[in-house]
Structure 1
């Protein structure tokens, strides 16, 4: 009991000492990002949100703003230099061997329970940490195993990872495991830029007064998230919604079925957020881009290769007949019109000289 008291006191005091966060309702020009964050807050099992964009596009500001809307109201920051033990926690093996009881020291995943786990520059984290993060975010459980001893605890949190693509990309195996992704771009609309700058200056000059002007909207967001979480289990998917999701994922040529599952859950979360009676194809369409943007495979290269291969087969087949193309005839140079229109720049064949070479004497098996 005595060991736990300081930790509880620290958690209670920490929010009061932190600088006030920019209100979520005051974000300007970030509608896709706000929707993705709200969906992850309603259903943390989506697997988190990956936010990609250049510097100065309010990625960290949005993450801190979302934390205020959650029940725990806390944001846990994972530094780049964190060890795996600091992330998942540690087990005291000596206590297990001596007393037969498990003594677990919680890590950042335990502290982020019911809150937000924020990872800035997630693309620079070691792959082992990213794997542990994504496993816990998708399952809601963190398991620590040491020397045959294991301990599990609930770890339901909203994972928000941010990255600047100029500093490197995540491996495809890891980026696919993020439920949703939003790509932010630099804003080049003068009116929007001015509105963002004015809001930020007003917040910096008087944070409490600025936040007070958005208190009603903030409270509305909190109520909507709470109501959506309660409505989530009652919403089901009909066959038409399933068919629409399958068609979108097949058209995007995604790997595996994770995109189908995430798209269905994201559409359900959106329907719950809007207090809809059922999940519809419209909900699917509104979340599809955030689900597919980091999983989509282009058909261009494949279709282009297939077209060239089909053309080669067609020319080979036509060359064996009586209507052989002059451009492919061995004894005739192509006419300018044929060379420019039909052969895509092929040069006429030319004879090549051959030279007799000596036979190669193979080495014995032992000398190879």
Structure 2
């Protein structure tokens, strides 16, 4: 959006740009370690496949996701491009930009914050995927495409609150785009495709109904969050929020060094991820856990491997350990288990129990 203009001595001048609204810092968020870890690992490796966050109302889901988007470093994009195209990676470019690059033309580059797109609950498929103006296409012979939210979310975060209340067809569209990295819109024989690489974050309240198992399985990770019970911790959270609301800038300054340090850790992890190794024996044991839990398909195996590597990179190491796998395995598998109506065991406990058996660990995690 252009800067607002003001009139001074009969001539128009640009007013100062509007300051961005302060966002609660990620490093100041107390508790909810499971949710925070799942989000960070998806930022390091978006191919993990997103996070489904289920939990009580008022537990800071939206606050945490906005804080994460704000924490991330600025990215290089092609200026004024509706898809936030990458200036040099063809997989993250729209068709028009790719053609320019292939022809050897210079593309204008700008820096911008990672986009976080909030999907409204009543959104239509056209609003999400974009639309093709058939009249213009037929009369002028051009693909007149009006980009949707998936275009805006490319190379960013797409957040869907109360995803369990969203139409199943729309959830399918989102998951397809998140998995393939592309969005295709077809109408009357005209087809338009654009990159849609984003971290999909869904949240919901179990009281309002569960997501269908076949849709739930396609989320890479599943984090469960609960309202903090400890009175002292609750007081700390309330005081922090009050302090932030009263003087946001001062509060942000207090956490600036921690924010910078975490941002750098994420950048380093993204760069070193390809060098991380996962021993063959450990991979076999991960698959054995999935097999003994009767997990359908191989998505559980793949996601657990990816998440363990991302955690290792985040910790600044090059080789995955048993403890790395232990920290991510429940997040990756708990939502893939078949529900037995006669069984009251919590899915997290069940995953943990089988993991300990396969890896030969005691219940406290000591081998």
TM-score range, shorter chain: 0.7 to 0.9
Query: 1:140 aligned to 2:181?
Result: yes
User: How far, CA to CA, are the matches of 2:275 and 2:157 in structure 1?
Assistant: 25
User: How far, CA to CA, are the matches of 1:247 and 1:116 in structure 2?
Assistant: 33
* Equivalent residues of 2:132, 2:145 under 8 A apart: yes
Q: Paired residue for 2:220?
A: 179
* Equivalent residues of 2:185, 2:192 under 8 A apart: yes
Check 1:170–1:85 CA distance in 2 against 1; reply closer, same or farther (3 A cut).
same
Shift of 1:54: 0.8
Query: 1:242 aligned to 2:242?
Result: no
Shift of 1:237: 3.0
Shift of 1:35: 0.6
Which of 86, 98, 102 is the equivalent residue of 2:127?
86
Q: Paired residue for 2:200?
A: 159
Q: Paired residue for 2:95?
A: none
Shift of 1:301: 5.3
Q: Paired residue for 2:39?
A: 37
Check 1:109–1:210 CA distance in 2 against 1; reply closer, same or farther (3 A cut).
same
Report 1 or 2 for greater relative contact order, CA contacts < 8 Å, sequence distance ≥ 6.
Answer: 2
| Pairing of 1:15-164 with structure 2 (within 5 A) | 19-70=21-72, 71=74, 72-164=113-205
Shift of 1:139: 2.0
Shift of 1:64: 0.6
Shift of 1:122: 0.7
* Equivalent residues of 2:275, 2:318 under 8 A apart: no
Shift of 1:298: 5.9
Q: Paired residue for 2:229?
A: 188
Which structure shows the bigger proportion of residues in strand conformation? 2
Check 1:263–1:118 CA distance in 2 against 1; reply closer, same or farther (3 A cut).
same
Which of 268, 271, 275 is the equivalent residue of 2:316?
275
> Which secondary structure does the structure 1 equivalent of 2:31 belong to?
coil
Instruction: Give the TM-score of the pair, scaled to structure 2.
Output: 0.75
Q: Paired residue for 2:358?
A: none
User: How far, CA to CA, are the matches of 2:277 and 2:134 in structure 1?
Assistant: 45
Please say which of residues 99-108 and 201-210 is displaced more in the overlay. 99-108
User: How far, CA to CA, are the matches of 2:187 and 2:341 in structure 1?
Assistant: 48
> Which secondary structure does the structure 2 equivalent of 1:294 belong to?
helix
> Which secondary structure does the structure 1 equivalent of 2:30 belong to?
coil
Check 1:16–1:270 CA distance in 2 against 1; reply closer, same or farther (3 A cut).
farther
| Structure 1 vs Structure 2 CA RMSD | 2.2
Unaligned runs of 5+ in 2: 5-14, 75-112, 344-367
Instruction: Give the TM-score of the pair, scaled to structure 1.
Output: 0.75
* Equivalent residues of 2:69, 2:114 under 8 A apart: yes
Please say which of residues 272-281 and 215-224 is displaced more in the overlay. 272-281
Shift of 1:268: 1.3
